[in-house]
A and B are shown apart, each in its own frame.
Chain A
Amino acid sequence: MHFDTIAAISTPMGEGAIAIVRLSGDEAIQIANRVFQSPGGKKLIDEQSHTIHYGHLVNPVSGETVEEVMVSLMKAPKTFTREDVVEINCHGGIVAVNRVLELILTEGARLAEPGEFTKRAFLNGRIDLSQSEAVMDLIRAKTDRAMNVALGQMEGKLSKLIGKLRNALIETLAQVEVTIDYPEYDDVEEMTIPLMIDKCTWVKEEIDKLLQTSSQGKILREGLSTVIIGRPNVGKSSLLNSLVQENKAIVTDIAGTTRDIIEEYVNVRGVPLRLVDTAGIRETEDIVERIGVERSRQVLKEADLILLVLNSAEELSIEDERLFEAVSGMDTIVVINKTDLPQKIDMKKVESLAAEGTIVTTSLLQDEGIDELEEAIAKLFFEGNLESEDLTYVSNARHIALLHKARKTIEYAIEAAELGVPVDMIQIDVTRTWEILGEIVGDTVQEGLINELFSRFCLGK
Chain B
Amino acid sequence: MKKSALIAGVSIVIVLMVVINIPLGPLPPLARILNPTQGVWVPPIPKNSTVISEFNLTQNDSVANVIVYRESDGFIGIASNHTWALFYEQGYLEAQYRLEQLTILERTANGNLASVVGPSAISSDTLSRLLMDCQVAQEEVSNLSKNSFSYTAATEFVRGINDYINGLSYANYPILFKLLDFKPTDWNLTDLFSLMQYFLWVNSDGNFDPILFNYALQQMPTNVIEALYPEYPAGVQNPIVPYSVNPSIYTKQGDVNNLSFYKPFVNLSRTSSLVIPNVANVFDSTQQVSQIISDATGQKFNLSLSLKDFGSNDWAVRTKVNGSYVALLANDPHLTTTVPSIWMGFQLVSPAMNVVGVSFPGFPGIILGHNSNVAWGATNGQIQEVYFYNETINPSNNLEYMSYGHWTKFHVLNETINVKGSVATKLIVKLANNGVVIENTPNVIAMNWTGFIPTDELAFFLRIDRTNSVIGFEQNETELFKVGIQNWAVADSKGNIGIFTLGYVPIISRGNPRAVLPGNGSYNWVGFVNTSLLPHVYDPARGFVFSANQVSVSENYSYYLGWDYESGYRADEIYQLLNTTSGIDTLKMERIQLTVHDFTTDLFLKPLLTALKLYGFSGTPEYRALSAWDGNASINSTAETIYYFWLSNYVNDTFRPYLERYGITPAEGLNSTAFYMGSDATYHGPLIEDLENWTNNAPSISWFNNPLNGKHRNATNLMLLSYNQTVNQLTKSAGKYSTKWEWGNFHKRYLSSLFGVSIMNTKEIPAAGDSNTINAAYGLISNFGPSWRMVVNMSDPSNSVGIYPGGISENPLSPYYSNTFIPWNNGVYYLLIPKDAPKQFFYQYESGVSP
Say whether A associates with B: no
